Amino acid sequence: MSAVADTCGGKAGTLGALLRAGLPVPDGFVVPFAAYLAAVRELDLGRLAGEPDDLDAARQAIEARPVHTTVVDALGRALGELGDPPVAVRSSAANEDTGQASAAGQHESFLAVHGVSEVADAVRACWASLFSPRAVHYRAAAGGDDRPSDDLVMAVIVQRHLDAEVSGVMFTPADPKDTTEIEASWGLGPSVVGGTVTPDAYRVAADGSVTRAVADKRTRLDRRGKRLVMSDVPTRVRDRPAIDDATATRLAQLGKEIAAVFGGPQDIEWAIVDGRTWVLQARPVTAAPPPPSPSGASDILTGTPGSHGTVTGTARIVRGPGDFARVRPGDILICPFTNPAWTPLLRIAAGVVTETGGVLSHAAIVAREHAIPAVLGIPNATIRLHDDTLITIDGTTGTVTATNA
């Protein structure tokens, strides 16, 4: 893959640049913008999506149309050259992973996809996700245009799937003298970036010294054939460090090399398989997380600082999409975790508190982009805090003060 952003989007363009720099990126190929544009020209999306209310019709039209045989044939040849392994299929939109907007988790990604038919279906789903409610809300918040155009286009990355033993994310510092922030957990990366597990946190100083906070990592995600399976981590392993200090130091060095390629701090997804480290994604840091905070007093709840700022508002317990309609502008979300489908709520919420997740999860990144405070990883927050009570959250120190905590 030697993709460039102009034809293959920011995410694929970045991976192409890393490959050209000799850095460890899994084998793969890209379905470029041209394939998407050819598909939507046949559908006449400009007619379907002339108004914002019709964006759902554009998504449905893409989902209903079979992928053109020329694209399917090309996918078959490219997969054959890889040896037809299980693959990851990931979106790479035109304005994704820029210095202004990450679009973190707003478009579709699929792991453990196998065979040309399933890959073609996943490619089509990535195309359609340009018009998903969460992507539409994200672009609206960023001041973008939702109408089909040559600017609103989607390429798709197809890469060899990695059965990671450990995976995570890393933020490189703006100043090389500062620390590199790393989060790590067992199994595949969506547990960390999706916020469904509270990961270990490592800070690697410029002199190579490492400080770490080991979390109770209760679940992990792994591939079983064509399925992704969430399983419980054995008790004896939950509080074992996912990586040792030497690995954290090597990751920080790799992050330094990646930041040098792009000339600025990077948000990097990585995975370790059979002792080898791979880079799955890199994008500019759009908003740096707050530094770790020491534990607070006993009369307040303390978690991980996720997004700067302090706000007082009404607590709203949100356990899933069924509760979305209860959220009012100015509420503070109290939730087990958030995933990218929750992005519309982050536009109206005054802040967010989660039971699991780390500072490099999608939810934390989007909270920082929206400039709303976030406190992460407070166990049983949905039980310890109560609906309709007034609470104050401080995303800089990672604390929550409630009238009835």
Average pLDDT taken over every residue of the chain:
87
Q: What's this model's pTM, rounded to 2 decimal places? A: 0.78
Average pLDDT over residues 120-139: 84
Our answer to whether residue 386 is catalytic in this structure is: no
Catalytic residue among 68, 362, 370, 386: 362
The whole-number pLDDT of residue 63 equals 87
Confidence band for 266, pLDDT divided at 50, 70 and 90: very high
> Is the per-residue pLDDT at 136 higher than 80?
no
pLDDT digits (tens, 9 = 90+) for 245-255: 999 999 999 99
The whole-number pLDDT of residue 293 equals 61
The whole-number pLDDT of residue 58 equals 82
> Is the per-residue pLDDT at 41 higher than 90?
no
Give percent above pLDDT 90 in the chain. Answer: 65
The whole-number pLDDT of residue 99 equals 47
The whole-number pLDDT of residue 159 equals 96
In sequence order, the 6+-apart residues with CB closer than 8 A to the CB of 128 are 59, 60, 62, 63, 108
Between 310 and 49, name the one with better pLDDT.
310
> Is the per-residue pLDDT at 167 higher than 90?
yes
Write out the two tokens for 230: 């969430």
Average pLDDT over residues 246-266: 96
Confidence band for 233, pLDDT divided at 50, 70 and 90: very high
